[in-house]
Structure 1
Amino acid sequence: MTFELHGTHIHVSIFPSNGLSTKDSNHLQPKDRPLQDHLIDIFSQVFKCEDSEERKSLHDEVLGVILKAGKPLFSQLTPKTPTRERSTLHRFLFAEILYFRLDCDSGAASVVPVEPEEAYAAGHLINRELGQTSEEELDLCEHIPRYTPEDIVVKNVFMKGVRHVTAAVLVDGRDMFCKAQGGPSQLRGGPEGRELEYLGKILKAFPQQDSVRVPQLLGYIHDKDTKRILGFLRQWVPGQNLGIEIDLAATATETKQKWASQIRESVQLLHKHGLVWGDAKPCNVIIDEQDDAWLIDFGGGFTTGWVDSQLAETIEGDEQALERIMALLSSKDNAILY
């Protein structure tokens, strides 16, 4: 398990009690099973569980044991207050990781420092080349500038994990939005890779910035050593999220009609060029400071209630979500959106 504590990334390996598998202790009662076997089985359920609340509960159960066992050591090794230094993207993508092993042999659980090579499946965290996507694997726009993580100042983090981040950033004095990852996941085939390629396709289809209300692709992020692609930079659109921050009940009917018309127009323009929005829903619409509606998030997927699973990432799915968004904006109810 890898997690962040006080700004420090910590990787804790849990090995089966017999060194090979937890199956040998499956016949034992839970109270008699080695703790590490129990935790491994719980953690394996996290990846199979479809219910987000149950998944979080399982994850927190394992994390709770680790934090309790490692509290004395973690408090010595991690800073109590975050640094006030100017944070570049490099700090988020390639931060130092401290490696430990959960030891239960003495009865009470404890954590023991280990070398990176001794950690479970940590090779992808050590090797910066492993899992990163090369330019040849992506459909890139040749004229779009490349930036390194060291060039990018992080202003506001919206989502982050170990070696991946979604944030508002500053590049050459200009506000931008970025999605990037320095860890093991391949860009190609994932939501970040789809969005990167789609923003490029949209830019080619609509080279004039004001021809469609979709944030413009502004740059690619690459590793200065390996030259591999880590993510992208796009236009920052100041405003409010339609699905989270806008009080529709307090919004004038004329304004909602304007947004509905703009959203429909943008989706139809995309479809004329064979482009699909993907995870179409109100939460992926930004209302800017001029009260105009922008489509965001081209990472694909679907959200229940807006697009049926069998229509995910299709024009038909976009049209289904569009009609539901239109119905929402024509309603007088202050609906709760997801």
Structure 2
Amino acid sequence: MAAQSRSTFDPVRSGGRCSGYDAEFYTFNYVYQYNNIIFDILLSPDTPPGYDTANPIERLYLQTLESAGQCDGDNEEDIQRMFEEANRAEAEIEKDVLEVCKSTMQALAPRTEAVGEKPSLHSWMYPKTINLQLVTKQGILTVVKRDDLPIHDSHAYIMDPQVLAFNLPRHEISDIQVIARLYPFVYKVNVKGQTVVAKLGRSEPHDSMTDEIKKLYGVQTSAQGPLARVPQLQGFVSSPMGIVGFLTNYIPSLCHNLEYALACARVTGGAVPKNKDAPSPPAITISKARKENWTRQIQETLQSLHARDVIWGDAKLANVLIDEVTDDAWIVDFGGGNTQGWIERDLHGTKAGDLQALDRITAELAAVRL
């Protein structure tokens, strides 16, 4: 059984990016993490010497991806269809990408057993990266290692002078030990003996990290005083390239978030396991009284945020954490995203949008029958 586990090919997709339509030509990258190494796999019409330039297979893939990423209309349904088609195209081509790259990735990243102390955040943020490119050789799709390509940095750095002027301690990524990965770009870490959460920026069209820091800093420095059940900033995460993230207090949360907790309750009739990161995971029951208490707490916290002119933004069940110790409902994630189905598009970023999501959160909690 152990031997079978070692031979398993299980790369984790950690991203994908296109060059954009203002570039010289359209390219696409599939990015995977496999055995602690990042593989950045390029599809490009710029064919290296020695490979087919007449109708190469990778160029047909690029044409499919570029076409799927275009939208003829500007209404929400057209945009949603575009995203669905783009995701389908990416997934179909991904099968061929992994099949072609499998033996190369296995050879370049043999499985090793982790030993010693927990790795620093630096090793998580900047793992070894290998660039590959899909090419066609005599009509057959193959892969070539590219040592001449630049390493893509997926992290966004804080450039806003207002945020950089905030009076917060700065902690080097080499001094931050990772305890567990909670979500993409979010880690449970140890800083000078204290357990906190490190949230890192990612390359995105909007500067969500800066927006979230401003909101949290505004809450805890407000003349009305800081809020309970809202994360407190503990400092900045500093890298050699600049400030790349921030630290908040750690919330030992029930089943990661309230959305997942309620999903478990529906399936198990109320028996919900504790967070897998917590010791001794006895089952618990979500009673009517607990649901009502969480609803009240979420409503009170949102009212207090609005009184400070702070918008939650991406309000939804998944952005509510239930503290395993106190059983309180915490509101998290102020980065300004908008998950479909919770807030109408024209209300995003407004108090009215937050209240619309609050109504839906309340309804979801009330709908769980135990």
TM-aligned CA distance change 1:113 to 1:303, over 3 Å: closer
Aligned pair partner of 2:42 in 13, 32, 39: 13
Aligned to 1:106: 138
Alignment of 1:185-196 (within 5 A): 185=203, 189-196=206-213
Aligned to 2:221: 204
Deviation, 1:143, is 2.5
Deviation, 1:279, is 1.0
Instruction: Report the Cα distance in structure 1 between the residues aligned to 2:67 and 2:248, rounded to whole angstroms.
Output: 36
Aligned to 1:220: 236
Q: Does 1:37 align with 2:59?
A: yes
Does the 8 Å CA contact 2:236/2:246 hold for their aligned counterparts? yes
Aligned to 1:291: 327
Q: For 1:6, give the aligned amino acid.
A: N
Structure 1, unpaired ranges of 5+: 26-32
Does the 8 Å CA contact 1:11/1:99 hold for their aligned counterparts? yes
Instruction: Report the Cα distance in structure 1 between the residues aligned to 2:363 and 2:349, rounded to whole angstroms.
Output: 21
Q: TM-score, normalised on structure 1?
A: 0.79
Instruction: Report the Cα distance in structure 2 between the residues aligned to 1:68 and 1:78, rounded to whole angstroms.
Output: 16
Higher RCO, Cα 8 Å, sep 6+: 1
Structure 2, unpaired ranges of 5+: 1-28, 71-78, 271-285
Deviation, 1:328, is 3.1
Aligned pair partner of 1:172 in 167, 192, 208: 192
Aligned to 2:96: 65
Aligned pair partner of 1:150 in 152, 174, 177: 174
Does the 8 Å CA contact 1:7/1:82 hold for their aligned counterparts? no
Q: Deviations over 1:83-124 (max 9, x none)?
A: 3352211112222211222220322222112223xx3xx465
Aligned residues: 305
Aligned to 1:29: none
Aligned to 1:266: 301
TM-aligned CA distance change 1:140 to 1:206, over 3 Å: farther
Instruction: Report the Cα distance in structure 1 between the residues aligned to 2:230 and 2:252, rounded to whole angstroms.
Output: 13
Q: For 2:57, give the aligned amino acid.
A: L
Instruction: Report the Cα distance in structure 2 between the residues aligned to 1:8 and 1:107, rounded to whole angstroms.
Output: 30
Q: For 2:140, give the aligned amino acid.
A: A
Q: For 1:179, give the aligned amino acid.
A: K
Instruction: Report the Cα distance in structure 1 between the residues aligned to 2:315 and 2:288, rounded to whole angstroms.
Output: 22
Deviation, 1:212, is 2.7
Alignment of 1:295-306 (within 5 A): 295-306=331-342
Aligned pair partner of 1:307 in 309, 318, 343: 343
Instruction: Report the Cα distance in structure 1 between the residues aligned to 2:68 and 2:169, rounded to whole angstroms.
Output: 39
Aligned pair partner of 1:276 in 311, 322, 325: 311
Deviation, 1:205, is 1.8
TM-aligned CA distance change 1:44 to 1:170, over 3 Å: farther
Aligned pair partner of 1:316 in 319, 342, 352: 352
Instruction: Report the Cα distance in structure 2 between the residues aligned to 1:4 and 1:206, rounded to whole angstroms.
Output: 45
TM-aligned CA distance change 1:36 to 1:290, over 3 Å: same
What's the secondary structure of 2:343's corresponding residue?
Answer: coil
Q: For 1:230, give the aligned amino acid.
A: V
Instruction: Report the Cα distance in structure 1 between the residues aligned to 2:225 and 2:164, rounded to whole angstroms.
Output: 18
Deviation, 1:135, is 5.3
Does the 8 Å CA contact 1:6/1:82 hold for their aligned counterparts? no
What's the secondary structure of 1:239's corresponding residue?
Answer: coil
Does the 8 Å CA contact 1:42/1:62 hold for their aligned counterparts? no
TM-aligned CA distance change 1:46 to 1:10, over 3 Å: farther
Aligned to 1:3: 32
What's the secondary structure of 1:316's corresponding residue?
Answer: helix
Instruction: Report the Cα distance in structure 2 between the residues aligned to 1:200 and 1:123, rounded to whole angstroms.
Output: 33
Deviation, 1:332, is 5.2
Q: Deviations over 1:244-303 (max 9, x none)?
A: 114377433222222111111100001011000111112111111211111011112222
Deviation, 1:56, is 4.0
What's the secondary structure of 1:245's corresponding residue?
Answer: helix
Does the 8 Å CA contact 1:206/1:212 hold for their aligned counterparts? no
TM-aligned CA distance change 1:283 to 1:18, over 3 Å: closer
Q: TM-score, normalised on structure 2?
A: 0.73
- The share of aligned pairs that are identical, in percent, is 27
